[in-house]
Amino acid sequence: MSKICVIGGSRYFGKLLVERLRDAGHQVTVVNRGSTAPPAGVTRLVADRDDEAALTAALGTRTFDVVVDQVCYTPVQAAIAARAFTGRTRRYVMTSTIEVYDPATAALPPVPPSTPVPEESVDPAGWRVAMDLPWHDDAYLDAHYAEGKRQAEAVFARTAGFAFASVRSAHVLGGGAQEFTGRLAHYTGRVSRGEDIAVHAPALPTVFIHHEELADLLSWAATADFTGPVNACSDGPLDVRGLTGIVAAQAGRKAVHRIVPAGEKASPFSFDRHYAMSNARAKKLGFAFSRTTDWLPGAVAAALALPAAPTD
């Protein structure tokens, strides 16, 4: 049994992670702002992670074997957490994102479209950190989400107080009403209504992961001993036409595509640039992934079963 602290963990795959860790026999503590009660058998500490004094006070004299940070978006947040947990934990795992590889958001080494992007394409140990950017501005953060994650990883990677690992998640799907991004519902709604879907020509493949599989991987990462980034994606890249084909088959309708010029905004998951990740490192470390096409039809069926959303 390990003492594990989860920062966030109140919804979607974070909630599943907390339940999995508890059910595995670990002593789990969650730190959040108190809006959602944790599952039975889980300790909750109420604090705003952006308030270093409040976070430190809430932690008191507690120590942990592992911290899993679900809601770190900026280097400022990372620096606060690094100071608060140095001396309190031996291992720190941060949930990161596929967006760190997006070539539209940073000058990154080019990767041929047929080559899955490896972790070393973005090395947090050497990434520049700029604390003086307006990270507290919501609009700025939303526009610089990928850079915020890259710099947060960089802060933790340079922290000597604990071993650090990051889990770079693919696009997360599944969960029906819990899927708060609404991106799968965008497709199920438009296909069901016979509305066209804006796509690039050609649209490049991307990678996905089921919300339950991501919770499993984070639980595994919490108790493993690797360090550095690891990519988390199910086997089998899929482009937007493959995705809409699965949606159309489940809905009993035909998908209608509308081509948009390169550089113009298209539907979610229609990409005119390549950054589909490789999951080879996670496999080598011992995690077994499912195939996207094995779970995606069920996720689509769950989304189709939801009440119809307003047209957009």
pLDDT at position 129 is 97
pLDDT at position 12 is 79
Give the largest Cα separation in the chain, rounded. Answer: 59
What is the residue range of 31's domain?
A: 3-180+207-235+276-291
Tens of pLDDT, residue by residue over 68-84, are 999 999 999 999 999 99
Q: CA torsion sign, 15 to 17 to 23 to 28?
A: negative
pLDDT at position 52 is 97
Per-residue pLDDT at 108 exceeds 90: yes
What gap in Å lies between CA 63 and CA 7, rounded to an integer?
14
Instruction: Identify whether the C-beta of residue 226 lies closer than 8 Å to the C-beta of residue 288.
Output: no
Answer yes or no: is 194 within a domain.
no
Per-residue pLDDT at 34 exceeds 90: no
Answer yes or no: is 312 within a domain.
no
Confidence class for position 39, pLDDT limits 50, 70, 90: confident
For helices 75-85 and 145-157, what crossing angle results, to 10°?
30
Q: Lowest-confidence range among 26-30, 93-97, 263-267, 282-286?
A: 263-267
pLDDT at position 217 is 97
CATH of the domain at 38: 3.40.50.720
Tens of pLDDT, residue by residue over 147-190, are 999 999 999 999 999 999 999 999 999 977 777 788 999 999 99
Strand partners, 164: 92
Confidence class for position 312, pLDDT limits 50, 70, 90: very low
Answer yes or no: is 271 within a domain.
no
- Supply the DSSP symbol for 291: B
Tens of pLDDT, residue by residue over 253-311, are 999 999 998 778 899 999 999 999 999 999 999 999 999 999 999 999 999 988 765 54
Residues above pLDDT 70, as percent of the chain? 98
Answer yes or no: is 263 within a domain.
no
Instruction: Identify whether the C-beta of residue 101 lies closer than 8 Å to the C-beta of residue 277.
Output: yes
pLDDT at position 5 is 97
What gap in Å lies between CA 275 and CA 213, rounded to an integer?
21
* Residue 62 identity: R
Q: What is the Cα 289 distance to its own chain's centre?
A: 16
pLDDT at position 308 is 63
Instruction: Identify whether the C-beta of residue 21 lies closer than 8 Å to the C-beta of residue 219.
Output: yes
What gap in Å lies between CA 207 and CA 220, rounded to an integer?
20
Domain count, the chain: 1
- Secondary structure (H, E, C), 94-135: EEEEHHHHCCCCCCCCCCCCCCCECHHHCCHHHCCCCCCCCC
User: In the structure encoding, which two tokens stand for residue 296, read together?
Assistant: 């995606």
pLDDT at position 309 is 52
Confidence class for position 101, pLDDT limits 50, 70, 90: very high
Answer yes or no: is 122 within a domain.
yes
Strand partners, 165: 93, 228
Answer yes or no: is 307 within a domain.
no
Answer yes or no: is 103 within a domain.
yes
